Amino acid sequence: MRNILTILILLSLIFSIGGCVITIPQAPISPSTSSTSTTDQSPPVPIDPNWAPNIQQDKSVQLLPSIADVVEKVFPSVVAINTETVALDLFSGPQTQKGAGSGWIIDKDGIVVTNNHVVQGAEKVVIEMFDGRTFQVGTERVYRDPLTDLAVIKIDATNLPAATIGDSTRLRVGDWVIALGNPLGKGLRAKEGTISGLNVALLVDEGQTLDDLIETSAAINPGNSGGPLVNLAGQVIGITSAKMAAVGVEGLGYAISIKTAIPIIEQLIKSGQVIRPYLGIASETVDQYLAATYRLPVNTGVVVYYVGPGSPADKAGLREYDVITHFNGKEITTKEDLLEAIHSSNIGEDVAITFVRGNSTKTTSVHLTKSPAPK
């Protein structure tokens, strides 16, 4: 008995030290009991045994021309514009503010195109050429059209490298373009992009909507305003504007199409101003707030809040708080409607304006004159 007990103790110590694991053999699983057997499945039916990818090698496809070549061609026609404007500060008095913009040479005898907002109110305008030459320009040689945000500057220079003008009516969405200018006043730069939209209309200011704009992915920054937007042939097809790019969108820039710009530029060069029919009022679209605040008799139309002394509107008897509802028989609901109606008329034309004053609806005849020069 003692020997048997000793043997059991020794066996227990051997198993604990060796960590032996006794594995119980399992019977093999019969193929007939497997749940994943596929011996009874048929092979898949092919869609098309003869199919091959449609890979084409078109040797007529050409690479884009070098943007560097385009930039090198156009850069001599691009100018930087630096301005100084005097602003009144309530506490410090008159303060000089500096600004920067861009422009481009449209005529070899010293005619430069830019945006109106680049030079508006400036008392000092300096044009810096690509070759480093600078020209200071008197304000009397700056010709502006605020309505289209365009301006022309005349400098005393000849034999300048004028840019080539292209045809913006042939543009397509997806075309490559290059914006050149003086972004942030850091000197001439170029930025490529594509056209993302054509014939775009954009409200850029109170009562000012620009039409036939080119929308582009090319970056437009402050200082780019007035610079050229060119195609890959180096032809100017638009005039960029950071003012429009800052309206409230990201990743999109805007340019005035050259088709729209050229007639304005031509008038500025030939006449010194753009001559349009002139009514002589300041107005605002009537809404519920204005109607309630000023106790207007109607809640639609255009309310007059200023009549220029001696203007056609003044001579026709229009007064402050009159609400214009029709212009030559056309219904007027916004001030943009009124502006469009005026600009669609002719200088010297007599037009019928219907307005509401108090409880009365009246019609008067207005003799439109030519617009005065911008101040």
Q: Dihedral through CA 277, CA 278, CA 282, CA 287, nearest 10? A: -30
Catalytic-residue membership of 287: no
Q: Vertex 271, ends 140 and 101: CA angle to 5°? A: 50
Catalytic-residue membership of 225: yes
Buried b (16+ CB within 10 A) or exposed e, 147-183: bbbbbbbbbebeebebbebbebeebeeebbbbbbbbb
First to last CA, the chain: 129
Q: Residue 173 carries which DSSP code? A: T
- DSSP letter for each residue of 314-365: HHTT--TT-EEEEETTEE--SHHHHHHHHHTS-TT-EEEEEEEETTEEEEEE
The number of angstroms, rounded, from the C-alpha of 74 to the middle of its chain's C-alpha atoms is: 22
List of residues 6+ apart from 192 with CB closer than 8 A: 67, 176, 177, 178, 179, 218
237 in Cβ contact with 195 (< 8 Å): no
Q: Note the residue count of the chain.
A: 375
Of 168, 225, 311, 371, the active-site residue reads 225
- DSSP letter for each residue of 267-285: HHHHHSS---EE--EEEEE
Look up tokens 């034309």; give the residue: 349
Sign of the alpha-carbon torsion through 210, 182, 169, 175: negative
Catalytic-residue membership of 117: yes
DSSP, collapsed to helix, strand or coil, labels residue 217 as coil
Of 77, 145, 149, 241, the active-site residue reads 149
How far is it, in rounded angstroms, from Cα 74 to Cα 69?
Answer: 9
The number of angstroms, rounded, from the C-alpha of 308 to the middle of its chain's C-alpha atoms is: 33
Of 117, 168, 217, 241, the active-site residue reads 117
> Active-site residues: which are they?
117, 149, 225
